[in-house]
A and B are shown apart, each in its own frame.
Chain A
Amino acid sequence: SQKIEQNSEALNIQEGKTATLTCNYTNYSPAYLQWYRQDPGRGPVFLLLIRENEKEKRKERLKVTFDTTLKQSLFHITASQPADSATYLCAPGGNDMRFGAGTRLTVKP
């Protein structure tokens, strides 16, 4: 069955460092992969979408990679800030929409 795994349930880093979150998927080949941010008690908010023919995509301090051979996406936040603390969800999409359980990132001042 299709499975999505995000590297860890929680990740703690120091302000100013780069946060790297991992999303691995098995048993399917998504043509697109999205990343969302979710704050406590709120709905997810879209961050980035990357297509299978794109290796990397950037938006301000965010960078996403998509390796279809490894079946993995990496999500980086450079120069992290306490305001980046949230849960980050990956969503590999083919002909439907599936989400990982998320990684809760805490950036400490």
Chain B
Amino acid sequence: NAGVTQTPEFQVLKTGQSMTLQCAQDMNHEYMSWYRQDPGMGLRLIHYSVGAGITDQGEVPNGYNVSRSTTEDFPLRLLSAAPSQTSVYFCASSYGTGWTDTQYFGPGTRLTVL
């Protein structure tokens, strides 16, 4: 099993550009989530999904969109990138909900917005 994979590993955007961060898992997990990690602030939940076709907002959803058309994939879209979105983004999946079950994290995408 590859576990949780994320692409790209690094990305530089200009303010106003859009892009999609990809996340896929091959463990047949229903629960998937996106976090951003900033220095001194820990991981903050952006969006999560409890199954295909179901998504919900986390703590910091503004500026991000998600969709979940399959169990395996959970892409994160930045519609109009801003410098405040410079961060490291992690995708995670778990069999049960994130707070009741082991979460498996991907390697992260390091995003810089100029």
Physical interaction between A and B: yes
Query: Which residues of A have CB within 8 Å of B61?
Result: none
Smallest CB-CB A-B distances: 8 pairs: A93-B99, A43-B105, A99-B43, A101-B42, A97-B98, A99-B42, A46-B102, A97-B99
Query: Is the pair B43, A32 in contact by a Cβ cutoff of 8 Å?
Result: no
**CB proximity to B under 8 Å, residues A1-43:** 4, 9, 30-32, 34, 36, 41-43
Residues of chain B at the chain A interface (Cβ within 8 Å)? 4, 33, 35, 40-45, 48, 58-59, 90, 92, 98-108
A32: contacting residue among B4, B92, B99, CB under 8 A = B99
A97 CB contact (under 8 Å) in B41, B45, B107: B45
Chain A interfacial residues counted at CB < 8 A: 26
Bound-complex Cα distance A99 to B35 (A): 10
Distance in Å from the Cβ of B107 to the closest Cβ of chain A?
Answer: 6
Residue picked from B33, B41, B42, B104, most chain A C-beta under 10 Å = B42
Residue of A nearest to B101 (CB): A49
- A42 lies within 8 A of B107 (CB): yes
Complex contact B107–A96 (CB within 8 A)? no
B33 partner residues in chain A, CB cutoff 8 A: 97
CA separation between A35 and B16, bound complex, in Å?
37
Q: List 30 A-B contacts (CB under 8 A).
A: A9-B40, A31-B99, A31-B100, A32-B99, A32-B100, A34-B102, A41-B108, A43-B4, A43-B107, A44-B43, A44-B105, A46-B102, A49-B101, A89-B42, A91-B43, A91-B99, A93-B99, A95-B99, A96-B58, A96-B99, A97-B98, A97-B103, A98-B45, A99-B42, A99-B43, A99-B44, A100-B42, A101-B40, A101-B41, A101-B42
Contact residues in A for B99 (Cβ distance below 8 Å):
30-32, 34, 91, 93-97
